[in-house]
Copies of this chain bind each other. A is one copy, B any other.
Amino acid sequence: MTDIVDRDAAASGTEQIDHIVIRFAGDSGDGMQLTGDRFTSASAVFGNDLSTLPEYPAEIRAPAGSINGVSSFQVHISDHDITTPGDAPGVLVAMNPAALKADLDRLMPGGTLILNTDTFDERNLDKADYTTNPLDDGSLNGYRVIKVPMTTLTKDAAIPLGVKARDADRSKNFFALGLVSFMYSRPTEATLEWIDDRFAKTDLVRQSNRAAFLAGYHYGETTEEVGHRYEVRPAHLPPGEYTTITGNVALAWGLVAAAHQAKLPLTLGSYPITPASDILHELSKHKNFGVRTVQAEDEIAAAAIAVGAAFSGHLGITTTSGPGVALKSEATSLAVSLELPMLLIDIQRGGPSTGLPTKTEAADLNIAMFGRHGEAPLPVIASYSPSHCFFAAIEAARIAIKYRTPVILLSDGYLANGSEPWRLPDPDDLPDISVAFATEHNHTLDDGTTEFWPYLRDPVTLARPWAIPGTPGMMHRVGGLEKEDGSGNINYSPANHEKMVHLRAAKIAGIANDLPPLEVRGDADADVCVLGWGSTWAAIDAAVQRTRRRGGKVAWVHLVHLNPLPRDLGDILKRFRRVIVPELNLGQLCRIVRGEYLVDAQSISKVQGLPFTAIEIEEAIEQAMTHVEELS
């Protein structure tokens, strides 16, 4: 833990700015993700609020220097509380022509360009389809351009240490990091320490990176090029202990916490798939928490393993994305019929089919709600920020365990890889979600003998008793055929089937009684209400703030529980003259609330593999307001 001592504040001639969006772009081989990560951590330690957006190609390695091979990392640092990685970056660091070509149009007009001039040779210009050299064809006139021969300077710094030229080249991302760290007054210690232990094993690499980083930093100090530096003051985050967290890590930790709070061992069945794999990776590290992970042969087996584990008294979990979600429908439907707790976690990505594996989307709400044959209702909940993934995991587990039902938890690629500072919760404040296994007979026959009826429900929750193997006298059989209410024996009678279909539906619907009232953010008396779910939270939050700062009135309801819908949602929505529903799909939640409440909600759709920008939502709110005015 480093205490915040504002080392560089002393340094004079620094201009204070309230926030800055910086985008690091280069070839997949240039280590931009690492660079962005480090800059983020340094800023976090410095006390800024921040939000990040990593983007990288689906190919393992697209051809070096090609536009497809561009990998970038955008970070938004601020002295006030923010939620989005920012719309148009103010600074673009481009390590090669392809990166410039790919990301220039995102840079805000008049923004700052930091270019590695060494790479602007014919070969690389060709690969980026440049016919003329942007460095001198005037096409960059609209920007503040900082030209730095990073490769050369890095080599000059590293080679004297005995580093081979080829290896020295690999350190140039640290040169860039050093330069930007100087320009935006980032403390250097943390980064240097990090370099030291990250590359402890390979001393030459360590030295080379260190040298490159300092060379970049000093280059900023010494050259005219850079002009004066900027400083984004620490944000006034509530006091407390913080860490920087991505959605997938938060989700994995949330699952560990959920198992801990449920006093159940955790068994994960999973099959690798982008962008969900990292949850499998993270969980497989924590075996000392009693976490069992099985890399299954496919998604069907992964889900089946979760069902088997649930029957055996574990918190059974399966994680996936894209086509994997479709493959889990069969086993999930079994879990609905067996009425066993199980978590199906879907890190949504672009579809259909293999789609856009590395891009974000939120188009799996339909399959989560309706993607099972027959009447097979189950709860669906969605996380809305990287850190919220931690709590969403616990809430999903709470519902699954209490109601003995599979629960689908939706996250997405943007939350999965995006990061933010997170004020650590006190583990003791986490809810107790434990459950008692059934150990006693619950039914008496006419002759007075007693037996165990696996489908004799709790009158309130309608949950069936959970008796696990190893419990004497409670042996029972469950299966996917329709069963008699109570005894659980196979039963095809018309009346019983109708009863069971309604009981299963009522159990899920009843969960609505177990949800907190919805929070209407913004202006309760506004004409326009934004209804959101999932990762649109960040952009909506920023847009609502801006609108209100500009004196506009707007309300905002963000759903975590998508099935059942909160009981008060209908009344709330009916209060407004215009309801807009921004979604990274073609309007899936919108269609659902329209059917549910006959409210003329309007879909605001974006399906580009990217999150909404605050501006896009702000404009949608604008339009909704004008629409209302026109009506009146």
Instruction: State whether A374 touches B352 (Cβ < 8 A).
Output: yes
User: Which residues on B sit within 8 Å (CB–CB) of A492?
Assistant: 57-58, 356, 358-359, 609
User: Which residues on B sit within 8 Å (CB–CB) of A585?
Assistant: 375
Q: Does A488 contact B (CB under 8 A)?
A: no
A612 to chain B, nearest CB (A): 12
Instruction: State whether A322 touches B497 (Cβ < 8 A).
Output: no
User: Which residues on B sit within 8 Å (CB–CB) of A354?
Assistant: 334, 337, 479-481
Instruction: State whether A336 touches B359 (Cβ < 8 A).
Output: no
Q: Kindly state the separation between the CA atoms of A609 and B501 in the bound complex, as whole angstroms.
A: 11
Binds B, one of A421-429, A588-596, A620-628: A588-596
Q: Kindly state the separation between the CA atoms of A338 and B495 in the bound complex, as whole angstroms.
A: 44
Other-chain residue from B358, B502, B595, B609 in contact with A494 (beta carbon distance below 8 A)? B609
Number of interface residues of A (CB under 8 A): 64
- With CB as the reference atom, state the residue of chain B lying closest to A337: B353
Instruction: State whether B326 touches A352 (Cβ < 8 A).
Output: no
A415 to chain B, nearest CB (A): 17
Contacts A351-B333, A353-B334, A498-B608; A326 near B364 (Cβ below 8 A): no
A416 to chain B, nearest CB (A): 16
Q: Does A468 contact B (CB under 8 A)?
A: no
User: Which residues on B sit within 8 Å (CB–CB) of A353?
Assistant: 333-334, 336-338, 374, 376, 480-481
User: Which residues on B sit within 8 Å (CB–CB) of A361?
Assistant: 374
User: Which residues on B sit within 8 Å (CB–CB) of A609?
Assistant: 492, 494, 497
- With CB as the reference atom, state the residue of chain B lying closest to A334: B353
User: Which residues on B sit within 8 Å (CB–CB) of A370?
Assistant: 366-367, 369-371
Q: Does A355 contact B (CB under 8 A)?
A: yes
Q: Kindly state the separation between the CA atoms of A336 and B354 in the bound complex, as whole angstroms.
A: 11
Instruction: State whether B371 touches A352 (Cβ < 8 A).
Output: no
Instruction: State whether B356 touches A323 (Cβ < 8 A).
Output: no
Q: Does A101 contact B (CB under 8 A)?
A: no
- With CB as the reference atom, state the residue of chain B lying closest to A299: B330
Q: Kindly state the separation between the CA atoms of A329 and B299 in the bound complex, as whole angstroms.
A: 13
User: Which residues on B sit within 8 Å (CB–CB) of A369?
Assistant: 366, 370
Interface residues in A367-413 (C-beta closer than 8 Å to B): 367, 369-376
Q: Kindly state the separation between the CA atoms of A373 and B57 in the bound complex, as whole angstroms.
A: 21
User: Which residues on B sit within 8 Å (CB–CB) of A482?
Assistant: 350, 355-356
A241 to chain B, nearest CB (A): 38
Q: Does A64 contact B (CB under 8 A)?
A: no
Q: Does A515 contact B (CB under 8 A)?
A: no
Q: Kindly state the separation between the CA atoms of A350 and B595 in the bound complex, as whole angstroms.
A: 25
Instruction: State whether B322 touches A373 (Cβ < 8 A).
Output: yes
User: Which residues on B sit within 8 Å (CB–CB) of A337?
Assistant: 352-355
User: Which residues on B sit within 8 Å (CB–CB) of A592?
Assistant: 595
User: Which residues on B sit within 8 Å (CB–CB) of A333?
Assistant: 323, 326, 351-353
Q: Does A559 contact B (CB under 8 A)?
A: no
Contacts A481-B354, A594-B594; A498 near B58 (Cβ below 8 A): no
Contacts A361-B374, A372-B367; A497 near B350 (Cβ below 8 A): yes
| A to B CB contacts below 8 Å, 27 in the list | A323-B373, A323-B480, A326-B333, A327-B329, A329-B367, A334-B354, A336-B353, A338-B353, A350-B374, A351-B376, A353-B481, A354-B480, A355-B481, A355-B482, A358-B492, A363-B374, A364-B373, A366-B369, A366-B372, A367-B373, A371-B372, A495-B608, A497-B607, A501-B607, A591-B596, A594-B598, A598-B598
- The interface of chain A, by Cβ under 8 A from chain B, is 57-58, 322-323, 325-327, 329-330, 333-334, 336-338, 350-359, 361, 363-364, 366-367, 369-376, 479-482, 492, 494-495, 497-498, 501-502, 504-505, 585-586, 591-592, 594-596, 598, 600, 606-610
Taking A326-B372, A352-B376 as given, write out 8 further A-B residue pairs in contact, using a Cβ cutoff of 8 Å, ordered by the A residue number: A326-B326, A329-B329, A353-B374, A353-B480, A363-B373, A363-B375, A366-B369, A497-B609
